[in-house]
């Protein structure tokens, strides 16, 4: 129960932070998206147990980044969302490159941090490539899909449009990442896909109230 509670609190913190970034303007929201994606790439290395099922620590950050991207596209336009995609993708590669170089720096004989940093940042090439490829493909798809849903179902509440788009794009993301990064290396791949997707849907539901009240946080004077 403690793990589930922390997961809920973490999701609420991410969702609330997205609203604060929205209040600060589009640039702050782009920065927030970039940070959540970097955190997701780091926290995906941590395995947790939610409700008896195996998951990673990255799901709340992934969902928070997706919802923030929808808020950016909703209030600042599709071009802003595209810019956020490429900036966050660049930041992911930048952080990955710098952390790998940091690992290869020879440590001082008295240093005690190197072994822990190596365990945290030592990348598995296939997982890293799968993460970057799936992120770029899925986010481009998500931006296009959200534009279509917004244009076609403009009268629908924002929270429903956000949930529908994220549910579809995250189904694609879960399947694509699992095939590219995990297939052939782990047993019960369909089980992993199913559980991961269900947890993302739960994260979406937790973040939905923040999306519902987002219009009260939109800044009309900041960009």
Tell me the three state secondary structure of residue 49. Answer: strand
Residue 4: its pLDDT value, please? 87
Residue 166: its pLDDT value, please? 96
Residue 186: its pLDDT value, please? 67
Q: Which residues of the chain have pLDDT under 50?
A: none
Tell me the three state secondary structure of residue 194. Answer: helix
Summarize pLDDT for 127-166 with one digit per residue, the tens: 788 889 999 999 999 999 999 999 999 899 999 999 999 9
Give the Cβ contact number of residue 100 at 10 Å.
13
Q: H helices within 77-157, ranges in order?
A: 78-104, 114-121, 125-152
pTM over 0.85: yes
Residue 222: its pLDDT value, please? 61
Residue 220: its pLDDT value, please? 63
d(CA 123, CA 127): 8
Decide: 41 and 34 in contact? Cβ < 8 Å: no
- Kindly state the greatest CA–CA separation across the chain: 64
Domain ranges for the chain: 2-217
Decide: 58 and 41 in contact? Cβ < 8 Å: yes
């Amino acid at each position: 129960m403690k793990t589930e509670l922390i997961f809920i609190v973490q999701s609420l913190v991410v969702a609330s932070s997205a609203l604060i970034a929205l209040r600060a303007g589009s640039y702050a929201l782009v920065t927030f998206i970039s940070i959540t994606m970097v955190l997701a790439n780091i926290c995906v290395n941590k395995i947790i147990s939610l409700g008896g099922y195996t998951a990673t620590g990255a799901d709340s950050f992934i969902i928070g980044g997706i919802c923030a991207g929808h808020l950016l596209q909703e209030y600042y336009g599709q071009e802003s969302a595209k810019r956020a995609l490429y900036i966050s993708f660049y930041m992911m590669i930048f952080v990955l490159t710098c952390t790998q170089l940091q690992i290869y720096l020879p440590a001082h004989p008295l240093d005690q941090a190197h072994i822990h940093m190596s365990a945290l940042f030592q990348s598995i090439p296939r997982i890293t490539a799968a993460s970057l490829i799936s992120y770029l493909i899925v986010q481009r798809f998500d931006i296009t899909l959200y534009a279509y849903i917004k244009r076609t179902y403009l009268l629908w509440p924002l929270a429903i449009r956000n949930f529908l788009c994220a549910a579809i794009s995250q189904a694609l993301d879960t399947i694509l990442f699992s095939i590219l990064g995990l297939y052939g290396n782990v047993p019960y791949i369909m089980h992993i896909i199913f559980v991961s997707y269900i947890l993302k849907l739960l994260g979406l539901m937790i973040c939905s109230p923040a999306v519902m009240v987002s219009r009260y946080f939109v800044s009309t004077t900041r960009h």
